[in-house]
């Protein structure tokens, strides 16, 4: 509880004691009135002062003005207990709302407690702590066990495991070793690391994430903007309606003015739009906070709202549905053993850092003896020729086999095929595939169960590869052989074909997909841990490689919107009923207190549900 909240709570308690004393002790009239006035000053002076200062600044019609007019009016009419009760319960509601908001902010703040306090750097032979802002690119920092990595960089020395839960929402530690990239915000768990800094603090991952979280509330959704505009016009309308209610009926019916002024004051209390103005932003804030708990950063409530209305999800293939790292899946030797064919391929490809070459060398797994290899020639667009142990080896595609007049057996396998020949004779082939992510099939099923109407995959790969991946994952549609510009064209066609009120989300790795991410209704960056391009181009950033988070984020967005709609219907419904009863004289000031403070407390309680996601997480991981 903050100091301000404690101060307000103390005033509420003191005022409540005075209110009970004035109501129950049967004091003389003047003494009772004095007790109620003291009670009113204790609990309501700040509201009256805000109303006065706002009027002086040209902001007349707000809840402070409504409460001040209504309560002072009731006191003037001699309804001391009711006037004080309105202010007392209004402040109870304000305290409750403040507590709920601070609790939500604290929950998000603890989750996003990734801002490093210092960086260890060696200067003059000593290890000193400096502000992360002071560290330059290229300098070496030391991260001890238990410390938070302060800046993005490359490990120079040391082995450890990193706790990335504050960024990804996942508890599984990540093992790191020299040569690997590390990002700020992670906690070094057990080893001493020396890291060469690759980005200044202002450009680091942690700085970008903190900026996203801090500015998410600036991007309001359609409903939130509507409520803001609604309150702007609604409040002056009800003030003039209350004024008319106080003046016109007594002039027409000759009834006492006091009766209708009391009804008008009741009308003002009921009409206060606090429940909507407070609970709607709080609901979206809770939804964004709930999403960030599971490692999903939503850049604003407008994107959360768009995500809730998404019915079509389009995926990039490489790095999104597949790992983007190639692996040997099949070996088909001719006239030799599998191990021998793989060894020849690894030696022939040793010079290259191409992903295909790396996958073959990884599958071989042994140290390459360079003395066995000579006369390596790359044949552009075909493959490679090398002399290994005195034998001439060819490794490449069908064009290489045909160019060398090698009689080979074409493979019908899905994937990239590397054909090999030894001294002019066909030696077999190796099949290499981009591996499908282990959780990708389950992610597509979860999207279907979440109500997604269509799933589509776009890829630059050949038709057979795309077809195999689409069938394995159960996708509704796929488009193969696409250049980056073709992907934008396909998105345009899908956008034109979708139904009017549904949105289309594109999920990509955030590096090469910026044009498509920005063109879709919702751009979701997949596998974005440490990717600047993803954080900047996308509307929603998934901070790990789990595609199941997409369905979970959509469930969170939809529940947030349901909570928002519940609060709107509930608040407006109760207020409309009480306004009618108040104008007819059936509902008095106590009913008005419920219509204002009671509805606000219930709406705020409902709004805080958006922050809690455990039940949705369980549904998404059956």
Catalytically active residues are: 316
Sorted by sequence, the CB contacts under 8 Å of residue 335 that are 6+ apart come out as 425, 427, 428
CA dihedral 574, 575, 579, 581 (to 10 degrees): 10
* Count of residues making up the chain: 622
Is residue 118 packed enough to be buried (19+ CB in 10 Å), middle (13-18) or exposed (0-12)? middle
Give the number of other CB atoms < 10 A from CB of residue 349: 27
- Beta-bridge mates of residue 506: 314, 523
Strand, coil or helix: 418: strand
DSSP 520: S
Tokens for 457? 């995959």
Alpha carbon distance 206, 193 (integer Å): 19
Sorted by sequence, the CB contacts under 8 Å of residue 345 that are 6+ apart come out as 360, 364, 395, 418, 420, 430
- Is the sign of the CA dihedral 523, 524, 526, 531 positive or negative? positive
Alpha carbon distance 584, 66 (integer Å): 20
Sorted by sequence, the CB contacts under 8 Å of residue 34 that are 6+ apart come out as none
Tokens for 223? 């409903």
Nearest to 39 by CA among 21, 66, 65: 21
Give the number of other CB atoms < 10 A from CB of residue 243: 14
Q: Are strands 540-542 and 477-479 parallel, antiparallel or unpaired?
A: unpaired
Tell me which residue has tokens 């509930």: 570
DSSP 621: -
Q: In angstroms, what CA-CA distances link 417 with 71, 345, 451, 470?
A: 82, 12, 38, 20
Cα 369 from chain centre = 49
Tokens for 399? 């064009």
SS3 letters across 231-247:
HHHHHHHHHHHHHHHHH
Tell me which residue has tokens 């019609």: 61
Please say whether the beta carbons of 418 and 394 come within 8 A.
no
Please say whether the beta carbons of 331 and 428 come within 8 A.
yes
What values do phi and psi take at 175, rounded to 5? Answer: -80, 135
Alpha carbon distance 316, 458 (integer Å): 5
């Amino acid at each position: 509880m903050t100091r301000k909240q404690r101060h307000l709570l103390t005033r509420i308690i003191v005022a409540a004691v005075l209110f009970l004393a004035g109501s129950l002790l049967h004091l003389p009239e003047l003494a009772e009135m004095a007790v109620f006035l003291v009670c009113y000053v204790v609990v309501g002076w700040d509201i009256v002062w805000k109303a006065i200062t706002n009027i002086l600044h040209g902001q007349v019609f707000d809840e402070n003005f409504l409460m001040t007019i209504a309560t002072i009016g009731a006191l003037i009419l001699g309804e001391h207990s009711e006037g004080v009760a309105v202010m007392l319960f209004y402040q109870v509601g304000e305290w409750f709302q403040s507590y709920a908001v601070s609790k939500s902010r604290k929950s998000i703040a603890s989750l996003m407690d990734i801002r490093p306090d210092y960086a260890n750097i060696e200067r003059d032979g000593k290890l000193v702590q400096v502000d992360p802002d002071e560290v330059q690119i290229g300098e070496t920092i030391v991260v001890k066990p238990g410390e938070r990595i302060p800046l993005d960089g490359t490990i120079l020395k040391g082995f450890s495991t990193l706790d990335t839960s504050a960024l990804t929402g996942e508890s599984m530690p990540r093992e790191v070793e020299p040569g690997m990239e590390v990002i700020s915000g992670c906690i070094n768990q057990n080893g001493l690391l020396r890291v060469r800094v690759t980005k200044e603090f202002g450009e680091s991952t942690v700085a970008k994430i903190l900026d996203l979280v801090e500015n998410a509330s600036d991007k309001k959704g359609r409903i939130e903007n509507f409520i803001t505009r609604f309150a702007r016009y609604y409040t002056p309308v009800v003030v003039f309606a209350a004024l008319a209610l106080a003046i016109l009926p007594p002039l027409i019916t000759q009834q006492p003015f006091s009766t209708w002024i009391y009804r008008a004051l009741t009308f003002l209390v009921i009409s206060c739009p606090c429940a909507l103005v407070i609970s709607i932003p709080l609901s979206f804030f809770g939804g964004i906070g709930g999403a960030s708990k599971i490692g999903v950063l939503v850049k604003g409530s407008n994107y959360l709202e768009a995500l809730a209305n998404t019915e079509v999800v389009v995926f990039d293939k490489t790095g999104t549905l597949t790992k983007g790292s190639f692996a040997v899946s099949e070996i088909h030797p001719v006239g030799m053993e599998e191990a021998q064919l793989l060894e020849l391929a690894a030696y022939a490809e040793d010079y290259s850092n191409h992903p295909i070459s790396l996958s073959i060398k990884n599958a071989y797994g042994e140290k390459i003896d360079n003395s066995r290899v000579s006369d390596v020639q790359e044949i552009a667009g075909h493959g490679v020729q090398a002399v290994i142990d005195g034998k001439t080896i060819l490794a490449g595609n069908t064009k290489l086999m045909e160019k060398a007049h090698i009689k080979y057996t074409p493979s019908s396998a899905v994937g990239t095929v590397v054909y090999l020949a030894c001294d002019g004779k066909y030696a077999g082939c190796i099949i290499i595939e981009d591996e499908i992510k282990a959780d990708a099939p389950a992610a597509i099923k979860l999207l279907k169960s979440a109500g997604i109407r269509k799933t589509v995959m776009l890829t630059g790969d050949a038709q057979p590869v795309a077809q195999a991946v689409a069938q394995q994952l159960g996708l509704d549609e796929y488009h193969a052989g696409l250049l980056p510009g073709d992907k934008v064209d396909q998105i345009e066609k899908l956008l034109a074909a979708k139904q009017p009120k549904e949105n289309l989300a594109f999920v990509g790795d955030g590096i090469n997909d910026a044009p498509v991410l920005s063109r879709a209704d919702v751009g979701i960056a997949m596998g974005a841990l440490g990717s600047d391009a993803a954080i900047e181009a996308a509307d929603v950033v998934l901070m790990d490689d789990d595609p199941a988070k997409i369905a979970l984020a959509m469930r969170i967005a939809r529940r947030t919107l349901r909570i928002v709609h519940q609060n709107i219907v509930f608040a407006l419904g109760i207020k409309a009923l009480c306004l009618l009863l108040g104008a007819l004289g059936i509902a008095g000031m106590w009913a008005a207190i419920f219509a204002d403070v009671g509805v606000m407390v219930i709406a705020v309680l409902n709004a805080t549900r958006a922050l809690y996601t455990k039940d949705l997480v369980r549904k998404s991981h059956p």
